[in-house]
Structure 1
Amino acid sequence: MVRVVKLGAVIGARIEGVDLARGIDAATAAQINDALLEHKVIFFRGQHDLDDDGQLAFARSLGTPTIAHPTVTSRGTKVLPIDSRYDKANSWHTDVTFVDRIPKASILRAVTLPPYGGSTTWASTEAAYDRLPEPLRALAENLWAVHTNTYDYAKDIDGRREALADTERQYREEFVSDYYETEHPVVRIHPETGRRVLLLGNFVKGFVGLGRTESAALFDLLQTRITKLEHTVRWNWELGDLAVWDNRATQHYAIADYDDQFRRLTRVTLAGDVPVDVHGQRSRVIAGDASTYSDIVVPVRLVS
């Protein structure tokens, strides 16, 4: 029996009573998906028997897996290792927003953990939108942002190439090996809930029609709203843990507070759809073809 234990007012729940390694039926998958839509990120403890194949099987019960990553293809085809030797994703982001077909969800499993630190924090972009003052809401609903896979990553490579370890430098060079650029609405309609959510994060290069200074100021204003502590939940990992988050309604931040200790998790990503704004306009591809990365999967709208 699936039990949902709420962890915060607007985001986070722990799921109990499920052994994912044994597989789940369609009814259980539907309950888990419902919990995901309501709580934005859900956690499973004690999944010690789950391996890569089991993680993929669980992912398939919730949707259609993508390949591991659009550009980082040397470390796996379906399962992406999140390995501290290569990179630490310690910036607020929504996964893979530089392509047009933003993933539905990500499924992350703890494999090797440091003796201290290394927790992850998620923020609800739905709660952030809901709590915007009306003037900011009207502004955001008419804004579009440019997302690229070179923003921040390329800057870091250029600025401190000599200081990077070989593994980290190679990872970052592979990350930007193919260039993607997409214009997304800052407010999108969630395809399953019909709710309005903010779409930002650190793949944003700027806003359409605005200069660099204006874009930076506006980005900070809206991004700070998303990451307000009341909109977040923080998870302290244990071996056997698995997290699933709705990538269409959250951002996340992997906290790099574990020094040079080794940390490794594995991620499977579920295919999603192309965002649509409040006026019915779809995101626009400027550069890059993501068709080999992911199908476009438009879910049935469950809540009006």
Structure 2
Amino acid sequence: MTTNGDESTKLRYRPMKYSGSLDHLDFVEVTPIIGREYTKAKITDILAASNSEAQLRDLAVVISERGVCFFREPQTDLSVDGLKQFTDSLGRLSGRPEENGLHVHPLYRDPGNSRMGNGETDENIYVINSEAAKKLYKTMPGRSANQEPRDLTREWHSDATFENCPSDFSCLLMEETPPHGGDTLWCSGYEIYDRISPTLRTLLSTLTATCSQPVFASACASGSYPVMTPRGSPLNTDLNFSPVHPVVRTVRQTGWRSLFAPIGLHVSKINGLYKEEERMLREYVMRLVTGNHDCVARMRWTRGAVAVWNNAAVWHAATPDTHLVPGAVRNGIRASSIGEVPFLDSASRSRRETLGLDF
């Protein structure tokens, strides 16, 4: 899937174009830079439409360009199978490798793995529950609640960066929500990349990062059970949780460059730098994320709401404050499609450069 033109300017993937099949849906943009909220749309209607594949393909375009989309109308009629079909279709219809599918939860066999609201479990569904996470990831270093002062920068991440083929689309349906607290934030990797000087962007485009996540091996050893394998791709197997990814990647659906792996929960090391250089670079990028709130879309969850995002284009972070709300319950189910091995296309450009936007 390449563009026409001179051989040196061809993109590996042809950027997707919006066809207009979703024009009948009401929406508001969350900010000028990131996020769209569909105020009344039902995902089940999109799945049942006579032109369902056209709508899903267009939605993949919108999500990839806007980074994240919210469905505010309660999606309580969306079954687990419907959630899986929806997420899988976004990846399939937007050009992911044919052999890939939905991610398989590495620790699905763990006895601490939570059940969904229907009382069942599913290897393709990750249950978002803070109490369950404490059990699943108790062997992860640095998860002590007694650290002072609290540093929530460690919450930022992109899903399944620890896999050779990470997630492209993730879709989270919130089944239960507290009266307040537990918001999720998304930050645009496109825009953060664009706010870096061209000289530094050139350097970043030569760098890779090792994305080790040893907690899966330690959890399996602690619980005496085998890790799930393969996990949505023939390349995601066994205890191979230490891939090397480009710091800057090209998003296949848009052809735009996004800052991908200089920061995040799963990024263990930026390769080829001295320790102090790496520390300065990671702190600088995180300062751009936390200091530019116009690059951030925030979701105040309501029961039955859905968020769906492109992990190549955004990072996200949960807000771990529900313990401050008496009786708070925050429970959601997430499905993730598995995309391609991350790559940087030399013919790709930044979002602002491609769209001719002012800096």
**TM-score, scaled to structure 1:** 0.78
CA-CA distance at 1:85 after TM superposition = 0.8
Quick check: 1:2–1:31 contact (8 Å CA) kept in 2?
no
Q: 2:276 aligns with which of 197, 213, 220?
A: 213
Letter in 1 for 2:249: R
Q: Distance in 2 between matches of 1:190 and 1:205?
A: 22
Equivalent residue number for residue 120 of structure 1: 184
**Structure label with greater radius of gyration:** 2
Change (3 A) 1:179 1:121: same
Quick check: 1:78–1:268 contact (8 Å CA) kept in 2?
yes
Q: Which runs of 5+ in 1 are unaligned?
A: 158-165, 281-302
SS at 1:63's partner residue? helix
Equivalent residue number for residue 231 of structure 1: 295
Equivalent residue number for residue 69 of structure 1: 105
SS at 2:276's partner residue? helix
Equivalent residue number for residue 127 of structure 2: 81
Say whether 1:31 aligns with 2:58.
yes
Superposed CA deviations along residues 260-279 of structure 1, whole A, max 9, x for unmatched, are: 63311000001201111244
Q: Which has the higher strand share?
A: 1
Say whether 1:18 aligns with 2:41.
yes
Q: Following superposition of structure 1 onto structure 2, how do residues 21-170 of structure 1 map, counting pairs within 5 Å?
A: 21-22=44-45, 23-24=47-48, 25-45=52-72, 46-64=74-92, 65-74=101-110, 75=113, 76-87=122-133, 91-150=155-214
The count of residues paired between Structure 1 and Structure 2 equals: 264
Change (3 A) 1:258 1:17: closer
Equivalent residue number for residue 245 of structure 2: 184
Higher-RCO chain (CA-CA 8 Å, sequence separation at least 6): 1
Equivalent residue number for residue 277 of structure 1: 344
Letter in 1 for 2:78: L
Quick check: 1:83–1:264 contact (8 Å CA) kept in 2?
yes
Equivalent residue number for residue 244 of structure 1: 308
SS at 2:297's partner residue? strand
SS at 1:2's partner residue? coil
Q: Which runs of 5+ in 2 are unaligned?
A: 1-23, 93-100, 114-121, 135-142, 144-151, 229-237, 348-354
CA-CA distance at 1:38 after TM superposition = 1.9
Superposed CA deviations along residues 191-225 of structure 1, whole A, max 9, x for unmatched, are: 11110111122211111122333222211112322
Q: Distance in 1 between matches of 2:71 and 2:191?
A: 23
